[in-house]
Structure 1
Amino acid sequence: MFLPIGETTVIDSIFGELEADDRIDDVYVSTNEEFADDFRRHLSDSPFSKPTVSVEAAGAENEKFGVVGALGELVEREGLDDDTLVIAGDNLFSFSLSEFVDAFDDYGATTVAAYDVGTLDRATQYGVIDTEGDRVVEFREKPSDPPSTLVSIACYAFPAETVGQFETYLSGDNNPDEPGWFIEWLIDREPVFAFPFEGAWFDIGTPDGYLDAFSWHLDGATIVHPEATVRNSDLGANVHVMRGATVVDSALEHTVVFPDVKLTDSELHSSIVDTRAELTGVTLSDAQVGANTSLE
């Protein structure tokens, strides 16, 4: 969520849209104790006033609630009783959240952002939606035989009365993990609508996913931090050289160079070089170089 995407981060792109919409009053970052201080530090240096960190009660790995369980616990912990957006923090998408809220207001019912991934094979990795018009008539979590290529991107809007249904769902013999199981349960009880969008969506869970999102955001541009040093080097499309990094006699393309990296006489393509790594005289493609690594 904190990965840089151009001049911002993945989660800050979400925070920015939530901050700008006057209809949204409170933003809760629901996390467990392990990551709570990371979020607090991040938010303390941010320009956002709405987000606050809300810490789950789970204290160990085997005590985690699952996603729906964590949402139910958040509703109880914070006393949520109003219309509520739920957004996965590792999502990067091209639609406006205000447009999504507009659609939710028009439908007056649970609304799910949906994206056509293009192939049935890819759809098996997600919660798959089947619709009649805009109404969701079937929702299946990671099916082996998906009914469509339209998938949920973990961006939901729930009316106040539906927020209270988390407790009902969790009190039964229902799966507390993926939100799709809750949606599947919900469509048998009340209307659920899809908000299909075109453009871009990235589920940033792999290095390749991160590079794809990064390249889409930069759209061919190159970013060099004012406190980075670049000498006698060729920086091609979609390159970001961050604060304190030094690039000398090197060629880069589709590559992210994290802070305080030192690159000398090297060629990198479609690669990620983490903080304080030092590379001299190497050629890499589709590589992920860990922090503090030294390669010659």
Structure 2
Amino acid sequence: MKALILAGGFATRLWPLTIDKAKPLLPIANKAIISHIVDKIPKDVPIIVSTNAIFSNDFKVWRELYKERDIEIFVEDADSDSGKKGALRAVGLVIETYKINEELLTIGGDNVFDFDFAKMLEMTGGKPTLAAFDVKDLEEAKKYGIVVANGSIITNFEEKPEAPRSTLAGTCCYYFPANTLSHIVKTSFEMPDKLGAIFTSFLEHGFEPRVFPFDGYWNDIGSFRAYVETHVAMGEASVPEKFLAIELGNSFEGVNYIDPSCEIRDSKIKDSIILQNTIIVNCDIHSSIIDKNCEFHNLELYQEIVKKDVVLFNEF
């Protein structure tokens, strides 16, 4: 078996935060999103990370954290969102390039979840399988690819249906047995950007796909709101001790990620993410994401994304 993590997108919905950084490398609960995924993959399974030409060096730096793991970085030649090959074509390209002829576990690099891959692999029966999460609301189900199943056997799969027949949302976590890989490659030319729809094709061609429903937590980090929600849900209420000194006059609520290189004084911080080398003085920051090398004085921020290198002084 091999594992493939798809990390080739440009995350335009999270700009300006992701203009110059890959979404899977953003921090959640004190480590990169992609690290949460790698830590759940069985240690004896080799991993391929598929990314684009812009972020390839960043992933090579990240890989140094996992010297004991067999991780290879595969680089697509895309250097912009318009040049992407599409998620399904990215899978097909990896299969072709590495001549994969064994089981393939495939995961979207912006998915955060807490189920055990080993349990999923136990129930596949050698059939293509997707992990699915019950969103428990028909209106919410309209946003996702929805699975209709008889027990573990998928009977229908629809992308963002207007009238959902279930609330079981397909996540970007898939098991592909070896006998499906040539079909995936062929189909990836026909619908290169419709990864989930491969399960509709599996149904049409008699591959008898399965579903692995799981409880717990799942989110697809596709928006500012989803990123902050996941940060709060998965993180812990702790900040580096250096920011807690009484003489600094800071207070912290909820779940915060603050890089140790920052400087914070006389400020209130709640449910926020603050990246490297940022200076914050006399500010109230709530549910916001602040990129590196910023400096703020006497400001209030609520549900804001701030790009890197911004300096703002509010004179009383």
Q: Return the TM-score normalized by structure 2.
A: 0.85
User: Which residues of structure 2 form unaligned runs of 5+?
Assistant: 1-23
Q: What does 1:1-296 correspond to in 2, within 5 Å?
A: 1-18=24-41, 20-22=42-44, 24=45, 26-58=46-78, 64-104=84-124, 107-170=125-188, 174-188=190-204, 189-219=206-236, 221-224=237-240, 231-295=248-312, 296=314
Whether contact under 8 Å (2:43, 2:69) holds in the other structure is no
Q: Report the CA distance between 1:60 and its aligned residue.
A: 6.6
Instruction: Name which of structure 1's ranges 264-273 and 62-71 shifts more when overlaid on structure 2.
Output: 62-71
Deviations 1:140-192 (A, max 9, x none): 11222222111111100011111121133246xx3221212211111122111
What letter corresponds to residue 108 of structure 1 in structure 2? G
One-letter amino acid of the counterpart of residue 107, structure 2:
I
The structure, 1 or 2, with the larger RCO (C-alpha pairs under 8 Å, 6+ apart) is 2
Contact 1:6/1:223, CA 8 A, preserved across alignment: no
Shift of 1:62: 5.3
**4+ aligned runs moved over 3 Å, structure 1:** 45-48, 57-64
Structure 1: runs of 5+ lacking an equivalent: none
| Counterpart amino acid of residue 36 in structure 2 | S
Aligned-pair identity in percent equals 27
What do you get for the CA RMSD once the two structures are aligned? 1.9
Distance 1:3 1:48, change over 3 A: farther
Matched residue of 1:13: which SS?
A: helix
**Quick one: which amino acid aligns to residue 40 of structure 2?**
E
DSSP-derived class of the 1:54 partner: strand
TM-score normalised over the length of structure 1: 0.90
Cα distance in 2 between the residues matched to 1:244 and 1:222 = 16
Aligned to 2:129, the other structure's residue is in SS state strand
CA pair 257-168 structure 1, distance change in 2 beyond 3 A: closer
Write out per-residue CA displacement over residues 238-268 of structure 1, whole angstroms, 9 at most, x where no aligned residue.
1222121111011111111211111111111
Q: How many residues align?
A: 287
User: Relative to 1, partners in 2 of residues 1:79 and 1:277: Cα closer, same or farther, differing over 3 Å?
Assistant: same
